[in-house]
Amino acid sequence: MNKKIKIGQIGCGYWGPNLVRNFLNNKQVENIIVCDSNKEMLRKISAKYPSIETTDISDTIINDLSIDAVIIALPAKLHYEYAKKAILAGKHVLVEKPFAMNSFEANDLIKIGKEKNKVVMAGHTFIYNAAVKKIKKIIDSGELGEIYYIFSQRLNLGRVRQDVNAMWNLAPHDISIVLYWLNEKPSKVYANGKSFLQKNIEDLVFLHLDFPSGKSVHIHVSWLDPCKTRKMIIVASKKMLIYDDVSTEAKIMIYDKGIDKTLKDDIKHEIYDFASFQLQTRIGDILIPQIDFDEPLKEETNHFIDCIMNGKLPITGGKEGLEVVEILEKAQKYL
C-alpha cells in the first residue's frame, strides 16, 4: 500500500483523544473521521484538531469506502459488534482492550480477519512500553535466573466504570505483560473480588495464575485505593526486579538479592538431602538501567499503521487478544 491511510475512529471518550492525537502525528495517515454519540465531545475534539471530520452515526464510518482502518474505542461490551462490522466492511481494525468479552467473540474476530485478509490488532499498549520491553530482554538473558513468582498491583481511586468490573478494566494490562514476559499460558486461573460501590460490579479483584513451569503470578487491581500504583515485582533465583510505571526516575530496579542454597562445610558423603544444605541470604547492589523512553501509544499506533502498509503481523494481534480474554473469562467464573 503506497497511498496514505484514512482512519475512522468509533468512540472518543476517556482514551479516544489520545488515539486521535497519535494517529494524526503519523505521516502515513491522511486524516481521521471520529464518531461519538456525545456531540459535545465531538465539538471539543474538532476545536482541538480542526483537520478531522466528525459524525455521530457509526455507519458513516463503516460504509465509507475511502476509510482503510477503524479504531474501536467504545465501552468494552460493544467492541465485538463494531469490530466485526468494520472487518466485514473490509477495514483493518485496532480494538482497545479488552479485545472482546468472551473467547467466542475473540475467535470470531480472528476468523473474519483472516478471511478478509485484514490486520486485526488488540490495543495492549503496555507491550509497546520501553520498560516492559527492556524487562523482557533481561528475563530472556537469564540475568534474573529462574523466575519464582510475579506480584502485580494496578490501583487507583477511580476511574470507576459501570460497563465492566475492575478486572476487565485494569487486568488486561498486567495479563498481557505477564504473557509477553513469560511466553507461557497459565494452566490454572482463579480469582476473588468484592463489589463495594455497585452491585455485581467488582471494584476490587485478586487474580491468580499458575503456570506449567511452576511460576506463579498474583494480580491485584482496584478502583478503591488511596494511591496510584502501577508496580510489578519479579522474584527469581538469582536476582529480583521491580517495575514501577509511576516512577519518573527509576522505572526498573534490579536487586542483586536472593536466598542461596549451599552445601554445609561438614558434609562428607555424596548423597544429599535437604538437611545437607544451608540457606544463606545474599544482598548485593541495586541497578537502575537506562531506558530510552517514548510514548507507548505512539509506538502502538505507528506499529498498527506499519502492519497495514507493509503486510506485517501485529505484535499484539488477535491471538494475543484472545489469550488475555480467555484468562479473564476463566477468572470471571469465580466472581
d(CA 299, CA 307): 12
Cβ neighbors of 155 (< 8 A, separation 6 or more) are 220, 221, 222, 225, 227, 228, 229
How many CB atoms sit inside 10 A of residue 44's CB? 13
Please say if the pLDDT value at position 106 is more than 70.
Answer: yes
Q: Are residues 73 and 140 in the same domain?
A: no
Is residue 5 within 8 Å of 309, Cβ to Cβ? yes
**In-domain check, residue 322:** no
- Confidence class for position 260, pLDDT limits 50, 70, 90: confident
**In-domain check, residue 330:** no
Question: Tens of pLDDT along 169-191?
Answer: 999 999 999 999 999 999 999 99
**In-domain check, residue 328:** no
Q: Are residues 132 and 276 in the same domain?
A: yes
The residue-averaged pLDDT of 19-37 equals 96
Query: In the 8-state DSSP scheme, what is residue 76?
Result: G
Concatenating the DSSP letter of every residue in 215-258 gives -EEEEEEESEEEEEEEEEEEEESS-EEEEETT-SS-SEEEEEEE
Give the end-to-end CA distance of the chain in Å, rounded to a whole number. Answer: 46
Please say if the pLDDT value at position 269 is more than 60.
Answer: no
Q: Are residues 113 and 14 in the same domain?
A: yes
Q: How far is CA 71 from CA 48, 75, 88, 257, in A?
A: 19, 13, 14, 44
Concatenating the DSSP letter of every residue in 123-167 gives E-GGGG-HHHHHHHHHHHHTTT-SEEEEEEEEEEE-PPPSSS-HH
- Strand partners of residue 34: 9, 54
d(CA 241, CA 208): 20
Query: In the 8-state DSSP scheme, what is residue 90?
Result: T
Question: Tens of pLDDT along 115-139?
Answer: 999 999 999 999 999 999 999 999 9
Q: Are residues 90 and 153 in the same domain?
A: no
Q: Are residues 140 and 256 in the same domain?
A: yes
**In-domain check, residue 326:** no
- Strand partners of residue 16: none
**In-domain check, residue 333:** no
Q: Are residues 218 and 86 in the same domain?
A: no
Which domain range does residue 219 map to? Answer: 127-287
How many CB atoms sit inside 10 A of residue 268's CB? 4
Q: Are residues 120 and 232 in the same domain?
A: no
**In-domain check, residue 282:** yes
Tell me what pLDDT residue 262 has. Answer: 62
Cβ neighbors of 325 (< 8 A, separation 6 or more) are 98, 99, 100, 101, 102, 103, 105, 106
**In-domain check, residue 226:** yes
| CATH code where residue 157 lies | 3.30.360.10
| CATH code where residue 310 lies | 3.40.50.720
Q: Are residues 175 and 103 in the same domain?
A: no
Q: Are residues 205 and 278 in the same domain?
A: yes
Tell me what pLDDT residue 148 has. Answer: 97
Q: Are residues 238 and 140 in the same domain?
A: yes
- Per the prediction, the chain carries an average pLDDT of 94
Q: Are residues 46 and 132 in the same domain?
A: no
Model-level pTM?
Answer: 0.93
Tell me what pLDDT residue 276 has. Answer: 52
Please say if the pLDDT value at position 279 is more than 90.
Answer: no
- Three-class secondary structure of residue 192 per DSSP: strand
Q: Are residues 268 and 146 in the same domain?
A: yes
**In-domain check, residue 262:** yes
Question: Tens of pLDDT along 288-308?
Answer: 999 988 899 999 999 999 999
Question: What total of structural domains would you count in the chain?
Answer: 2
